Every structure is written in structure tokens, then in C-alpha cells.
Copies of this chain bind each other. A is one copy, B any other.
Amino acid sequence: MVTAKGAIKAGIMLPVLALPATALAKKQPNIIFFLIDDNGWVDRQVAYGGEVYPNNLRFDTPNECRLASEGVIFGNAYACPVSTPTRASLITGTNAARARITNWTSPTANVPSDAVGGSKDMTVPGAPAEGDRLWHGEWNWNGVSPVEGVPNTLYAKPLPQLLKEAGYYTIHVGKAHWAPSGTPGSNPYNMGFCVNVAGTEAGMPRSYQGRDNYGNTPEKWNYAAVQNMEEYYGTDTHLTEALTREALKVLDYPVSHGQPFYLYMAHYATHTPIQADERFFKKYRGRGMDKGQARYASMCEGVDKSLGDLYAYLEEHNLLDDTIIILMSDNGGNADVKAKGGVPHTQNAPLREGKGSLYEGGIRVPLAIRWPGKVKAGSRIDAPVMCEDLFPTMLHMAGISSYNVPQPVDGIDLVPVIRGKATPDPERAVIFNYPHKWKPEYRPEVDFMSSIRKGDWKLVYVMWEGRLELYNLREDIGETRDVASEHPDIVAALAKELSDSLRSWDCPQPIKTATGTPVPMADELVRK
């Protein structure tokens, strides 16, 4: 979320004349939004911060390197720490804390996902267990809704709907995960997509393997079995490849009709289960990686190959100059899951922690934007940006400068900055909220946190422990040295800004199970 005073300088949109869709169509670039799942900031050759870390050397991602070299990359791009909040922000422009969509949505309507592992079928809400000092408040556990009046949702007009109304052919391929089944938000056709391949309520695939029918077998099936993939059942086709092939088929209509398209290419990879993409697995084993790490690396390269296939398609159809590509991950790498060999996926180093956490490993994500003729190739922006920024940014790119939506749009249009026509505000405040327990066991570096970043400073509120931590990210990217005691004034100012925002949005603090009262806001700790 962005406070009003923290807006990017000169990032104000000018009103333009409304044009019919057909007139606009000629100027509308194609947009491919290439979203990778649970894919860490350093799980790639591209060094988004400008410094190459050992982890960057573990993965071959030549097509992302091409993308970075042709466009602009962001050194401090942020998403939410888990899937649905990021996806909700991307499709609505609303900051996830303000949207009160602060955790992933479960497969079943009206069942909060809190404190239940993702692999379980969820049809019954969880309850505090012994030792659960804190429990979640009433958040929007039914996610995003394009229809008014659905309980526990953010009612919103989604990005694809706006693009479709402006003449875009909107395509959904892969993971949706905006809302549970039994609600309108679980259906991409309700979100403004002309076509949906494989998008459901699921936040993960039951299996990546064609030989497992992607989970569509009596032995394996659960709600996460991937739909629309029957062509590849019983074959060696990894899900990443299958989704890419389907995307290319669906692109045929808009491309052959000269319609601008929006392809939301949302790979299930590299979410768990970590299963080898056999095309690349042996190569990584040959480099001495253990099996789990090699599996993960092969999945990362599989996704990169998908990007390469899209590039090849654009080239073949002479669309390279007309197509924007935006690459991003929905949160940090999942450092919580250890490879079977026992060696952890330390893929987020030098960042601390991973998916689920508000330390940098959970929220700092790759972001690269290729926009031919508009963006300086090979450039980098280090000012903090947030996933919701891509909502107004893509609308601007699509030539849509006036729109009415019911949801608050917190995102800042990045177009002036990436075009070099404005300077980003280095003091922009970025706010995160995770008032949840992620998994059944308490995780001190993950559960019940909120945070604010402003300039080089980052305040982390660990609510379970009742502690405020302060880090200087410029000096200490790994958040290894808590300097709160050295800078009480900065702590107080950031705590106030964080608390003021969360209060103004009526964000639910976690509840103390012993008393039923909410956990204090960060600034209440300072006053004490």
C-alpha cells in the first residue's frame, strides 16, 4: 500500500479523450504477464539487485536474461508473502492489507485457510489448538469477488475485465487462486477472461507429471488435480510445458484476427510439489546438486523454457515489437520445504527467510518489464515498488486512462518512472500485513507479522513475540542486525505510519485466544 504523500513524483495520469475500442486497438500493445509461483528472488541468473549471489549461479535462465537485457528490472520489487494476496492485488490494484485478503484462499467457500497445510482437503474451518496464543481475526477469506455482496470478499472490477472492455482478448492459463470454489471469484470467466485454461480455486497442482495425469487418478486426486490437461495424460509432459502449449493454441485466435491480447501466463511452477522437469533434471544432478535441489532447479529452467517458447512464438508471428512482457513471482522462494536429501532450499540467500514471511526472503521478488521502444534496455530501478502497482501500470500501457472501479486502487502507475520521465519517490512507504499462522506449528519468523518499508528502513512487528525490529536494508540486506534500540525515533515513526494505515483500513489484528482481545497495534508497543 502506498500512502498519498508517498506517491511517485509526476506519476499523475493525464485525462485523455475516450476512444472506441476499435480506434484504441491499433495503438494497444499485447501484454504477457508471466507470473512464476513461489520463485525466489535469486532463483535465476538475473541479479535483480545488481549483485550476483551464489544462488544466482545455480540456475540457467537464458530467456529471463534476454528479457532483463531488453527491458527494465527492479531491485526492490515487492509482493505479499503468500499467493492469493499478491494475485488479488495484481488483479484489483488494491493493497492486500487494505483488501483484508492477507492469506491464501482455501479450496472451499467460507473456510479460512489459516493454520492448515496446503495439501489437506479443506472443508471445515480450523480452530485454535493448545499453544495457539494467537488466532486470526475476520479477514476476507473468500478472496476477490467480481460480484457485489459475497461475504468476506473484496468486491472489485478486475484488470482483465477492463482490458476486455477496451478491446483486449484476455487469456488465462495456469493458476488462478483468487477465491475458493463456490464463489464467483474462483472462475476466471467472471474475472474478465475470454478463455480459461486450468485456472481454478487451487493454489497448487496435485502433480506436475503427465504420467500422473497431473493428479487425475483415483489414487492421487484431490482438489488440486489440474484441469484441462487430458491431452497429456500418461505422457512425459511436465505441466509447465503443457500449459505453454495450451497458451500458444489459444493465442491463435487473437493473433490471426489482429486483436491485441492480454496473456496471463500464471505457471503453477515452482510451487510444491517439487517434481523434476526431466528435460533439465540430469543436467543439475551432474553439477553435484542433491536430488531435491536438482528437481527444483529443473522446474526453474522449465519455466524459463516456457518464456523462451513465448519469445519464439512472438518472433514467428512478427509480434516482438508489439508485445510487452512482464515477469514476476508471487512471493519469495519456499524455504520452509526441505529437499528430500535433507539439504534445505536455501534459495533466498542473502535474503532472510522465505515464502510466508515478511522478512525479505518472503516478499522481495523478481520483476522485469520489456516494453519495446518505450523502456531503456538493460536498465534497473531500485526504488521500492509493490505488486498492486502493476494494475494501473498495465492499464496505462494498454491506453486505458479512465476507468471506474468499485475497489480502492492503491497501486502507483509505474509508466512515468520506467519510461524515464519521472523519478521514483525514495521515501515511498510500502506496507505488509500477515496476521495469520501459516502452518499447524508456530513459525517464529513467519507467523503473525506486519511490516513497513520506507527508504532504507524496514520495521518488522513480530506480533507473537510482541517485538518491533528495525533493519537498514541498504547496509543489511539479510536483516541480520536488529537496530531498533539504536533508533527509537525511526521505530516510533514507522510504527505510527504502519498502525495508522492498518487502522484506517480496519485491518483485523490477530486475537489473543486467552482473552479474545486483539493484539496491540505496533504504535501501542512504542507508547508503552
Give residues in A with beta carbon < 8 Å to B.
Answer: 108-109, 121, 164, 169, 181-184, 186-187, 189-190, 194-197, 200-201, 213, 216, 218, 221-223, 225, 227-228, 230-235, 246, 249-250, 253
Contacts and interface: CB of A to CB of B under 8 A. Distances in A.
Contacts of A234: 108-109, 181-182
Nearest to A196: B228
Q: What 10 pairs between A and B have smallest CB-CB spacing? A: A181-B233, A187-B231, A181-B230, A227-B227, A182-B234, A189-B249, A194-B253, A221-B221, A186-B230, A182-B233
B231 A223 contact: no
Given A189-B246, A190-B249, A183 B231 contact: yes
A231 B109 CA distance: 10
A216 B184 CA distance: 17
Given A213-B181, A218-B222, A221-B218, A231 B194 contact: no
A30 to B, nearest CB: 16
A507 B190 CA distance: 47
16 contacts: A109-B234, A164-B253, A181-B234, A182-B233, A182-B235, A186-B231, A187-B228, A187-B230, A189-B250, A200-B228, A200-B230, A216-B223, A218-B221, A218-B222, A227-B227, A228-B228
A177 to B, nearest CB: 11
Given A182-B235, A194-B253, A218-B221, 6 more contacts: A108-B233, A109-B233, A181-B231, A182-B231, A187-B231, A189-B249
Nearest to A235: B182
Contacts of A194: 195, 250, 253
Contacts of A235: 182
A206 to B, nearest CB: 11
Nearest to A226: B227
A181 B196 CA distance: 19
A488 to B, nearest CB: 50
Contacts of A230: 181-182, 186-187, 200-201
Contact of A184 (B184, B189, B228, B231): B231
A213 B225 CA distance: 14
Contacts of A218: 121, 221-222
Contacts of A249: 189-190
Nearest to A249: B189
Nearest to A165: B256
A181 B190 CA distance: 28
Contacts of A197: 189
Contacts of A187: 228, 230-231
Nearest to A110: B234
Contact of A228 (B222, B225, B227, B253): B227
Contacts of A169: 253
A249 B190 CA distance: 8
A256 to B, nearest CB: 8
A231 to B, nearest CB: 4
A184 B253 CA distance: 19
A438 to B, nearest CB: 24
Nearest to A234: B182
A197 B195 CA distance: 9
A225 B195 CA distance: 21
A233 B110 CA distance: 12
A186 B228 CA distance: 10
A207 to B, nearest CB: 14
A198 to B, nearest CB: 9
A328 to B, nearest CB: 25
A87 to B, nearest CB: 15
A229 to B, nearest CB: 9
A169 B200 CA distance: 24
Nearest to A246: B189
Contacts of A228: 187, 196, 200, 227-228
A154 to B, nearest CB: 17
Contacts of A246: 189
